[in-house]
Structure 1
Amino acid sequence: MTVPPPYGPGALVLVVGPSGAGKDTLMAAAAHLLNGGVHVARRLVTRTDTTGEDHVPVSEAAYGAALAAGLYPLAWRAHGLGYALGPEVAAALAAGQVVLANGSRATLPEARQRFARLFVVHVTAPPEVLAERLAARGRESAAEVRARLARAPDAALDADLEIMNVGPVAEGAARLADFVRHVGAAAPSVA
């Protein structure tokens, strides 16, 4: 597959980390603090169940067709599902906006090639906290939870910001919002 020219000039803040780390929760709280100062991407996922994580459900056929047409700035498969950032992400970046998105650690090498300004935020928590959060979601069996926890990062993170998400949501959200403001302040202007 040919890698497109870097998407930009806006910045992509890609939030990565293990399942159960609280990425979506921190992103939603940070977006509230930013009061419209960031474009929050909604991932497309080949899951029809809309409970839990905020996403746009897409059929396998539609996902495959859009992927083949090169409509996704970033796409990956994990846990038997297809995930993607939609075309609106490319449009927001072309307009010079900062985009906040939940991504995958495994896509970082590709993302570093695809986005002119990529910033990685790694959100994590201790294994026992992750296990408790995953069990509370009720979407997976105990064996599936163990399998998720055993999954090691597929790429070097080289994160620009690390958040150990064990305190109040407001603390992690404030750190993430401050980081996004910093990225936005350093953004090149679009004529």
Structure 2
Amino acid sequence: MSGVAVESSDLSGEGRLGPGQLVLVVGPSGAGKDTLIAYARERLTGRADISFARRRITRPADATENHIALDERAFAHGVAMGDFPLHWQANGLSYALGPEITGEIVAGRIVVANGSRAVLGRARARFARVRVVHVTAPLEVLAARLAARGREAHEAVLERLRREPALDQTPDLRILNVDAVDAAGERLAAFLSGL
């Protein structure tokens, strides 16, 4: 059973978590998802009905993303205990949304999280209301952004971009992130404000 107690009244529609909604910001590595999420978080400061998730990742913390670093053992323990309402593997790492997300959704809030296209089906099975924002950019822009991070060699960057999964349905919002961050960031903030 989960480390977070979920009463039957916390669920809506076929046992899915609600009444709040999960907004997953998805897209290829290097699209600028974290940058746009940070921009929207700043613009929407003071909106008590919107929260921004800090993912658990089996990667040391760094300046490129505000996440909670876990080692593989702690991550596996969290999965085994049912602490993570959503978790997935990508690019050799493990990712999860933490147990606090359950409370936010049950309280009726909008939770915004950097997600994965590969986990959208599981998200829809777990949460009553899921919105999808697809952020992307041209391949050469993605490759340049990933190279600038300095985490992977050029061939590893290209391999990562080649294996990106397709979306399983039309997103609620699509952002081509090639302009200044405020242009794309305003689109995300406006979308979230309208939910």
Instruction: Report deviation, 1:67.
Output: 0.4
Rate the CA distance shift 1:45–1:96 in 2: closer, same or farther, 3 A.
same
Partner of 1:68: 80
After superposition, where does 1:176-191 map in structure 2 within 5 Å?
176-183=188-195
Distance 1:127 1:86 in 2: 31
Instruction: Report deviation, 1:91.
Output: 0.7
TM-score for the superposition, normalised by structure 2 = 0.89
> What runs of 5+ residues in structure 1 fail to find an aligned partner?
184-191
For the residue of structure 2 that corresponds to 1:162, the secondary structure is strand
Rate the CA distance shift 1:154–1:162 in 2: closer, same or farther, 3 A.
closer
Instruction: Tell me, yes or no, if the aligned pair for 2:61 and 2:67 is still in contact at 8 Å.
Output: no
Distance 1:134 1:180 in 2: 27
Distance 1:42 1:157 in 2: 25
RMSD value, Cα: 1.3
Instruction: Tell me, yes or no, if the aligned pair for 1:109 and 1:155 is still in contact at 8 Å.
Output: no
Q: Deviations over 1:116-167 (max 9, x none)?
A: 1100000000000001100001011111101111113154142000000001
Instruction: Tell me, yes or no, if the aligned pair for 1:108 and 1:157 is still in contact at 8 Å.
Output: no
**Residue 59 (structure 2) pairs with residue 25 (structure 1):** no
Moved more, 169-178 or 150-159: 150-159
> What runs of 5+ residues in structure 2 fail to find an aligned partner?
1-13
Instruction: Tell me, yes or no, if the aligned pair for 2:61 and 2:68 is still in contact at 8 Å.
Output: no
Rate the CA distance shift 1:157–1:135 in 2: closer, same or farther, 3 A.
farther
Instruction: Tell me, yes or no, if the aligned pair for 1:46 and 1:82 is still in contact at 8 Å.
Output: yes
**Residue 81 (structure 2) pairs with residue 81 (structure 1):** no
Distance 2:62 2:70 in 1: 11
- The residue identity in structure 1 corresponding to 2:65 is E
**Residue 74 (structure 2) pairs with residue 53 (structure 1):** no
Q: Percent identity?
A: 53
Q: Which residue, 140, 156, 160 being the options, matches 1:144?
A: 156
Instruction: Tell me, yes or no, if the aligned pair for 2:21 and 2:130 is still in contact at 8 Å.
Output: yes
- The residue identity in structure 2 corresponding to 1:87 is P
For the residue of structure 2 that corresponds to 1:18, the secondary structure is coil
- Runs (4 or more) in structure 1 with deviation over 6 Å come to none
Instruction: Report deviation, 1:182.
Output: 1.2
Q: Which residue, 100, 103, 118 being the options, matches 1:91?
A: 103
Q: Deviations over 1:13-54 (max 9, x none)?
A: 100000000000000001111113220001100112423222
Instruction: Tell me, yes or no, if the aligned pair for 2:104 and 2:110 is still in contact at 8 Å.
Output: yes
Partner of 1:125: 137
Distance 1:36 1:163 in 2: 24
